[in-house]
Amino acid sequence: MFLSGCGKKKYDLILDRYGFEAKKTKYHAGETVTVYYIMIATDTDYSFYTDSEDVSLTQKYDGKHGYVFTFTMPEHDVRLFVDSRNSMEYIPDTADTVYKQIDTDTVSEPGQWKCQECGKCNEGGYCSECGSKKPSDDK
Ligand SMILES: [Zn+2]
């Protein structure tokens, strides 16, 4: 169905983060959308993207406004995102947590024993599963 003239639907421009500025948030399909991003910090890398593959975002840098984006409104709502990360700050990777992993096979709880009858791990003097007595250390 093709709607023309005054019956045309407007689509939403959704701005994901504080820092974006747009003159309006509703656009007709085919209308040029201009968005500014003014929250620019030094030493920070920004990457901007939309949720729509059919939107080609044109990115320019303007000394007065900051980043200026223009795109043509498609026939659906468009959400605009920004990812920012400080390029000077070292963010430790997940390597730390990997090395802290404990090899559970080699660590045994003190006082635990495995029942020879049913194989259950127990802590007391008798098996909680079958009632067998805890085996003595000598084999
Ligand atoms: Zn048992």
pLDDT digits (tens, 9 = 90+) for 37-46: 887 777 888 8
Provide the strand spans (E) within the chain.
10-15, 20-22, 26-28, 32-37, 44-50, 58-62, 66-72, 78-86, 113-114, 121-122
Ion ligand 1: residues, CB < 5 A? 115, 117-118, 127, 129-130, 132
Rounded to the nearest angstrom, the distance between the alpha carbon of 108 and the centre of ligand 1 is 18
Q: CA–CA separation, 89 vs 7, rounded Å? A: 51
Which ranges constitute the DSSP H helices of 8-64?
A: none
Contact 52, 78 (CB under 8 A): yes
Would you list the domain boundaries of the chain? 8-86, 108-139
**102-132 pLDDT, tens digit each:** 455 444 567 788 998 999 989 889 999 999 9
Ligand 1 centre to CA of 119 (Å) is 6
pTM of the model as a whole: 0.54
Tell me the per-residue pLDDT of 43-98, one tens digit each, with 9 for 90 and over: 888 889 999 889 999 999 887 778 899 999 999 999 999 888 877 655 555 555 44
Q: How far does the centroid of ligand 1 lie from the alpha carbon of residue 130, in Å? A: 4
